[in-house]
A = this chain, B = another copy of it.
């Protein structure tokens, strides 16, 4: 056998609103080198890519040079798999339609695949997480917002235009809470995100101002899902109610998703999952209650076991192994 060029590494990049984290990942899903840069520092895409390139050079060096790297996978908000573009991402400073994959290919000389951040996380779960071996599952990311990645028949569902899986924006409570980012009323994200939990806390505290709560010891603007969690764990009644309410709405939405694609599992991921059973139990109960009997007690509702930063890097890097170009 002749020696041949090995391309055993893939770069995974997760572009978040605040930070961009990246890793050099091997075939087994081990992250061999990690790094991060600020996403917010640049107004335009070119200097951002310039800085990302600089930051990645040591990672490329670490695995013996660019000839050992097969490509780049990127997860980004509003990332479009078909076009390799980021389109009108509300939480990024880069405006309009950004041909990111194209720009990356030019800068790095490596084939680049792009998808949205929740899709990348779903791929990460499918290749290295709790969804290994599953052909039908839904990934729900519960962070500042609510994202989703849907796998059916063993494939990510991208839809006709590459934007499938915006489950956080489905209308769950018609005429409900206003979502300032989208203008929608009653979308899931207005309730089942970290931001949603904070809003629920404010609503519940205001609704019954005379009711005692540990939450009242905190300045109103400081109350977040972590504080609600801490208070609930100390037995605070309102804090417990906040998670029950969140779980009820989330569970109803999940039931609707199950009746759409009948997944083997729903994988919950992101900051809000730190609430553990406080969130999981009411969510599961509400999901089962709202399911048609043929779907009841079939769907696993589980938390991701991947480290939050890792899932997106791993998932993004996994896109590389599916790249047709080489």
Q: What class of interface size applies to chain A in its complex with B?
A: 35 or more
Per-position contact with B for A147-181: 1 when CB-CB < 8 Å, else 0?
A: 00010110101111111111101111110000000
A135 partner residues in chain B, CB cutoff 8 A: 160
Give the interface SS of chain A, mostly helix, strand, loop or mixed: loop
Per-position contact with B for A238-273: 1 when CB-CB < 8 Å, else 0?
A: 000000000000001001110111111000000000
The contact of A261 among B157, B256, B263, by CB within 8 Å, is B157
Q: In this complex, what residue of B is CB-closest to A176?
A: B174
Complex-state Cα separation, A109 to B96, whole angstroms: 60
Complex-state Cα separation, A120 to B175, whole angstroms: 35
Complex-state Cα separation, A264 to B162, whole angstroms: 11
Q: In this complex, what residue of B is CB-closest to A259?
A: B166
A184 interface hit (Cβ, 8 Å): yes
Known: A88-B294, A152-B152. 6 other contacts (CB 8 A): A134-B160, A153-B157, A162-B262, A166-B259, A169-B259, A184-B292
Asked whether B261 lies within 8 Å of A184 as measured between CB atoms, the reply is no
A293 nearest CB across to chain B (Å): 8
A182 interface hit (Cβ, 8 Å): yes
A169 partner residues in chain B, CB cutoff 8 A: 259, 292
Asked whether B184 lies within 8 Å of A150 as measured between CB atoms, the reply is no
Asked whether A152 lies within 8 Å of B164 as measured between CB atoms, the reply is yes
Asked whether B159 lies within 8 Å of A255 as measured between CB atoms, the reply is no
The contact of A170 among B88, B152, B259, by CB within 8 Å, is B259
A150 partner residues in chain B, CB cutoff 8 A: 260-261
A166 partner residues in chain B, CB cutoff 8 A: 259, 262, 292, 294-295
A14 interface hit (Cβ, 8 Å): no
A189 nearest CB across to chain B (Å): 10
